[in-house]
A and B are shown apart, each in its own frame.
Chain A
């Protein structure tokens, strides 16, 4: 048996799912001194004890993680990160929607919360490494720079969610599933006799418990209003009423209440927060060639002086598109695509690749040519504000 981990203590983040369970098992077999830690993130999930799985922070999941650690004969601890999760992820999630952007809480959770707090806990517990069940590869180059690569199982690749990791975090990170196919991870779980071998993968957003994100936003937005407003086209014609900008996503066609035959081709193409207007248009208005991203993070050193050719993912499930990245300032970039892209959405993460190498990413702030409406500035006062 290869004992590469001999004597080194590693903290394994145990969600209660099959991926992190196999991560723990693999590291244990490799001779690491493994400590299992479950992050307790969100209280609401606890309320629904009946429902198990599908979310990553319920008591049922903590118990699954505990059973896995029992099977592996490793210590297991629950770490309370609820306040932090509320501050870093929930508040961000709600605020983004209320600003008519479409957030990505999973990216934010990895970026701001998970690794930061896990590494702190690792420091407290004298763990050299933090391991997670992410499908991605962390490889230290001879130069000492740590790079992030896509997983071998490209259909499960999670590098998109990890673009915000810093060098000092990557240096401590182990992601042993990066080289494995998911189907083999399931088989390994059976081989290791892990009680979660058959557990289904988590879906959707872990804290939005079965219901819609819309009611979640409303429930958690006590200080805000849900302003109704006009639905307009880019020429400024009012076509209908919307019931709160956060209730719509770019590219949405259904549920707009635009029922006339000549309106059926219309989709959401943008919004105007100042005028509280939802902008609709024909499908082709969704097709855009450039975006601006901010709060960028680069994994490794790159020379932007000539612009950088890369492939970009503008949402987690998106076929990468060829683009040129030009630096706007230290943290912001302009991304110009070779071909038009459908439904570029502000608030989402854009992540850049060169082949399998993830070079970094940022948050989409807007389009290089924004979608606007010629509507006159007047609507807000007349719109009905509904207190949440």
Chain B
């Protein structure tokens, strides 16, 4: 007998292979198979603790199945760190909206999304919003999207203009804060305040991503023990240098990537 993990539950079987197991359970072609979290079409030998999930095509999974699938995919220890992580995103424009979506897909357990603004048409060339969301608060619009991508992420939101006086109250709970502001002054204000008032928190900032020069110019730099900065450190947005989805998303991916690395306990870049 083999004891396998079937759709997140223990299951005892006398079958020796995936094909035999499918016959035993009457699994037909409207179902696809994940073995240890990864989709497969091939037959495989079964062994103790192998994870097998049969998932009906076009259907979603339960929390239990999701946890099992992701644990096998990432490895249990890694997934547990990701699932129990809490990350804040301050400012939900080109950087913040894309960072939030990437972190949700990754499976970060809790996201705290803060912005005062509403979605408008000028946002759509680079920010992660839809036409049907024009006029909605960015916090609400992103929460809606995340629910459709990964409903197991807890999304907390706050519609508020972030200023020096409310930063401590808003973010003291969060060990990882991603900065997604537009104006240089606001970036500097948030970073100065977090580094001096919330010394236990990491802040990941973005600095320079406008225009269409090379994507390789955008990098992650660890500036101080608690400050990481992603960007080309140069290309400012102005009338002659616009923001493009491509470079903004490269920069957002740098921010999200260092957030995930910090969640996993990796502090060196």
A binds B: no
Q: Which residues of A contact B (CB under 8 A)?
A: none
